[in-house]
């Protein structure tokens, strides 16, 4: 594949554009919003130092970015389409109808949706619904390697394999889901953690700062190196996960039964927002992002040099 269409150029679309450009591909971007081209080019320029530090493919250049307001025009000449439109099923279906009509047969149409199903999105495609799938990245998409690839009921195997191959070839770490679920896998895992975090704040057990400190300076450090299940295996010593589940399984089940079930009431929302604002102490958004991305680059570089799974 030599040319990728990036349809929708907000935060996620701009991250995809920078990622594909950094890996030596031509990117045809499309977004009908006023001022979209200027914002996209500024975002790609802002991302370029970070992707450059990770390593550029031969021929990689922001100059290989073209722009049109018409999604169909971008899709018409592409070998792969990465869509990043609004998170509404009706709008996705209408947009994919356009992309399906414009793209050459066999060109995969991938949606970055964080929670919708490929099966539902593909209902808008009269020609080739079998080439529609979900490929959900994580923000910042130009740095975070994970992509969740989720075929729909009518997605053919060749489309799925081509998507997995493209993401792998451009340095991503794709996983393939065997079932469609709202929120896919990683967002569901995050939602489970947020649910208990919100409950703890709501119950007055811990502050927002306490919870962020507990994760960022505790299990979050391990999770960045190995996933939660592999880390749990290590905590069992020579007996591994089997030993952990034998001895800590019953207490864990008791903890599950005690987990909270909060509702996002106006009072809880206000408490969470105020807690984050207090924790960050007025640190400007752009500065916080820059600090996060600098540390993320160091971590990604170290992980690339290791042989951990």
pLDDT tens by residue, 91-117: 999 999 999 999 999 999 999 999 999
d(CA 309, CA 306): 9
Note the pLDDT of residue 283.
Answer: 93
Q: Give 29's strand partners.
A: 6, 67
pLDDT tens by residue, 255-272: 999 999 999 999 999 999
**Residue 215, class by beta-carbon neighbours within 10 Å (0-12 exposed, 13-18 middle, 19+ buried)?**
middle
Q: Which of 63, 179, 58, 59 is nearest to 117 (CA)?
A: 179
d(CA 235, CA 258): 23
**Residue 283, class by beta-carbon neighbours within 10 Å (0-12 exposed, 13-18 middle, 19+ buried)?**
exposed
d(CA 2, CA 38): 24
pTM: 0.93
Q: How confident is the model at residue 65 (pLDDT cuts 50, 70, 90)?
A: very high
Q: Assess whether pLDDT exceeds 90 at residue 1.
A: no
Q: Assess whether pLDDT exceeds 90 at residue 282.
A: no
CATH architecture of the domain covering 186-304: Orthogonal Bundle (1.10)
d(CA 295, CA 99): 38
Pinpoint the residues of the chain covered by CATH 1.10.1040.10. Answer: 186-304
d(CA 309, CA 307): 6
pLDDT tens by residue, 174-213: 999 999 999 999 999 999 999 999 999 999 999 999 999 9
d(CA 136, CA 234): 29
Note the pLDDT of residue 309.
Answer: 80
d(CA 194, CA 94): 33
Q: Give 5's strand partners.
A: 28, 81
Provide the sign of the torsion angle of the four alpha carbons 40, 22, 301, 82, taken in this order: positive
pLDDT tens by residue, 41-61: 999 999 999 999 999 999 999
User: What SS3 state is found at 237?
Assistant: helix
Pinpoint the residues of the chain covered by CATH 3.40.50.720. Answer: 3-176
CATH of 3-176, one of 3.20.20.70, 3.40.50.720, 3.40.250.10, 2.60.40.1150: 3.40.50.720
Tokens of 159: 């489309």
d(CA 234, CA 10): 40
Q: Assess whether pLDDT exceeds 90 at residue 132.
A: yes
Q: Determine how many CB atoms are found less than 10 A away from the CB of residue 14.
A: 27
Q: Assess whether pLDDT exceeds 90 at residue 308.
A: no
pLDDT tens by residue, 205-263: 999 999 999 999 999 999 999 999 999 999 999 999 999 999 999 999 999 999 999 99
User: What SS3 state is found at 236?
Assistant: coil
Q: How confident is the model at residue 297 (pLDDT cuts 50, 70, 90)?
A: very high
Instruction: Quote the DSSP letter at residue 305.
Output: T
Q: What percent of the chain has pLDDT over 90?
A: 97
User: What SS3 state is found at 13?
Assistant: helix
pLDDT mean across residues, the chain:
96
**H helix runs in the chain, sequence order:** 11-22, 36-54, 71-76, 89-102, 118-121, 157-169, 186-202, 208-216, 219-223, 228-234, 240-258, 266-280, 285-304
User: Peptide bond preceding 285: is omega within 30 degrees of 0, i.e. cis?
Assistant: no
What does residue 80 show for φ and ψ, rounded to 5 degrees? -160, 140
């Amino acid at each position: 594949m030599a040319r990728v269409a990036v349809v929708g150029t907000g935060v996620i679309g701009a991250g995809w554009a920078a990622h594909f450009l950094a890996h030596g591909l031509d990117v045809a971007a499309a977004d009908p919003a006023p001022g979209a081209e200027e914002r996209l080019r500024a975002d790609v320029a802002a991302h370029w130092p970070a992707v450059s530090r990770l390593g550029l493919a031969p021929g990689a250049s922001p100059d290989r970015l073209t722009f049109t307001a018409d999604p169909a025009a971008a899709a018409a000449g592409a070998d792969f389409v990465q869509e990043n439109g609004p998170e509404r099923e009706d709008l996705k279906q209408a947009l994919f109808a356009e992309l399906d009509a414009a793209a050459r047969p066999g060109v995969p149409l991938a949606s970055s949706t964080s929670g919708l199903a490929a099966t539902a999105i593909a209902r808008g495609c009269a020609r080739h619904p079998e080439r529609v799938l979900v490929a959900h990245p994580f923000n910042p998409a130009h740095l975070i390697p994970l992509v969740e690839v989720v075929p729909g009921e009518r997605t053919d195997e060749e489309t799925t394999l081509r998507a997995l191959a493209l993401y792998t070839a451009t340095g991503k770490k794709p996983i393939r889901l065997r079932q469609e679920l709202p929120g896919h896998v990683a967002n569901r895992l995050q939602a489970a953690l947020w649910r208990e975090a919100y409950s703890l704040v709501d119950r007055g057990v811990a502050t927002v700062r306490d919870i962020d400190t507990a994760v960022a300076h505790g299990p979050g450090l391990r999770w960045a190196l190995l996933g939660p299940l592999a880390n749990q295996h290590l905590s069992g010593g020579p007996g591994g996960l089997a030993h952990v589940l034998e001895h800590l399984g019953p207490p864990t089940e008791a903890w599950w039964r005690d987990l909270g079930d909060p509702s996002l009431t106006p009072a809880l929302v206000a408490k969470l927002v105020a807690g984050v604002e207090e924790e960050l102490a007025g640190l400007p958004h752009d500065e916080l992002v820059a600090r996060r991305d600098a540390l993320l680059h160091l971590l990604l570089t170290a992980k690339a040099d290791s042989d951990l799974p």
